[in-house]
């Protein structure tokens, strides 16, 4: 009888554990992403959320049974304002970290990917300019950068680390990329700090808006800049859960595999 009672008790405990697991609360999470930024975050021809960062977040979601991500493709402004105000728990759009953004959002410990940055130069100077130090030696005349942008910080950090090979960092207003490309071609400046993906889409790709510059400009990679998801200030626990999941995905090679799928290269490797 004692054995029977013990068996029934253990069975009840087991069923209770299974029942409790089934009743585990799942929190639905509204996640925003930009709807146009190929190949980071976009809406594909089937009307589905797609892109490298989207694919990574889908893998993160699989590792977090307590959460269910609901993806919302949207604009830059709606994403930034929406995360700030709590309309979305977090969002992703190839974000670079800045001090101003750190005051508004929670940044996790681990980036989601990387953005490759470098300089656009004239092809006729390519034999003399091969990297940032040689550009500094050549002239250091860089197209002005908005002082509030993350790109400004990239060159500022470079100058601090290279006191003997300074680049002329001038704060300027916002302008169109076509202006910067034209200024370099005309010799007004000798380089333009640009994101590699932007240069590829604007100049090199078939049918690119500035394809007429393809034979006049070339690109020199400098480094990878981490890109981050940004979380609402009340979502620290979610950011911590993201960190645990992304660390596993990086360790098992999932993030690298997805980067190669979407970019043709493991862009995160440039962060090392």
Per DSSP bridges, beta strands 27-34 and 90-95 are parallel
In this structure, is residue 270 part of a structural domain? no
Q: Is residue 205 part of a domain?
A: yes
Q: Could you tell me the residue range of the domain that residue 128 belongs to?
A: 115-225
Q: What average pLDDT score do residues 172-181 get? A: 76
Instruction: Write out pLDDT tens, residues 184-242.
Output: 999 999 999 999 999 999 999 999 889 999 999 999 999 999 999 999 999 999 999 99
Residue 66 inside a domain? The answer is yes
pLDDT tens column, 49-88: 999 999 999 999 999 999 999 999 999 999 999 999 999 9
- Looking at every residue in the chain, the average pLDDT score rounds to 90
Among 201, 199, 205, 202, residue whose Cα is nearest residue 219: 199
Please indicate, yes or no, whether residues 171 and 259 belong to a single structural domain of this protein: no
Q: Are residues 101 and 83 in the same domain?
A: yes
pTM: 0.80
Residue 110 has pLDDT above 70, yes or no: yes
- pLDDT, residue 127, reads 97
For 238-270, how does the pLDDT look when each residue is reduced to its tens digit (9 = 90+)? 999 999 999 999 999 999 999 999 999 898 887
Edge-first strand order for the sheet with 36-37 is 36-37, 41-43, 49-50
The CA-atom distances, in angstroms, between 141 and each of 132, 196, 197, 236 are 11, 19, 23, 42
């Amino acid at each position: 009888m004692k054995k029977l009672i013990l068996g029934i008790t253990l069975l009840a405990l087991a069923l209770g554990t299974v029942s409790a697991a089934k009743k585990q609360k799942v929190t639905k999470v509204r996640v925003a992403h930009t709807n146009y930024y190929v190949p980071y975050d976009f809406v594909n021809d089937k009307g589905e959320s797609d892109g490298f960062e989207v694919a990574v977040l889908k893998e993160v979601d699989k590792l977090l049974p307590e959460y269910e991500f609901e993806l919302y493709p949207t604009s830059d402004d709606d994403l930034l304002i929406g995360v700030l105000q709590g309309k979305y728990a977090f969002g992703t759009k190839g974000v670079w970290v800045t001090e101003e953004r750190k005051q508004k959002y929670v940044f996790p410990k681990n980036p989601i990917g990387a953005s490759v940055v470098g300089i656009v130069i004239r092809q006729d100077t390519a034999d003399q300019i091969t990297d940032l130090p040689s550009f500094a030696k050549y002239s250091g005349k860089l197209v002005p950068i908005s002082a509030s942008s993350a790109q400004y910080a990239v060159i500022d950090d470079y100058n601090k680390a290279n006191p003997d090979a300074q680049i002329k960092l001038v704060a300027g207003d916002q302008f169109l990329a076509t202006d910067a490309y034209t200024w370099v071609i005309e010799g007004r400046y000798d380089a333009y700090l640009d994101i590699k993906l932007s240069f590829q889409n604007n100049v090199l790709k078939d049918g690119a808006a500035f394809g007429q510059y393809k034979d006049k400009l070339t690109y020199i990679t400098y480094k990878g800049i981490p890109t981050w998801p940004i979380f609402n200030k009340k979502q620290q626990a979610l950011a911590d859960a993201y960190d645990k999941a992304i660390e596993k995905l990086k360790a098992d090679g999932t993030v690298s595999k997805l980067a190669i799928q979407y970019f043709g290269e493991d862009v995160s490797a440039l962060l090392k």
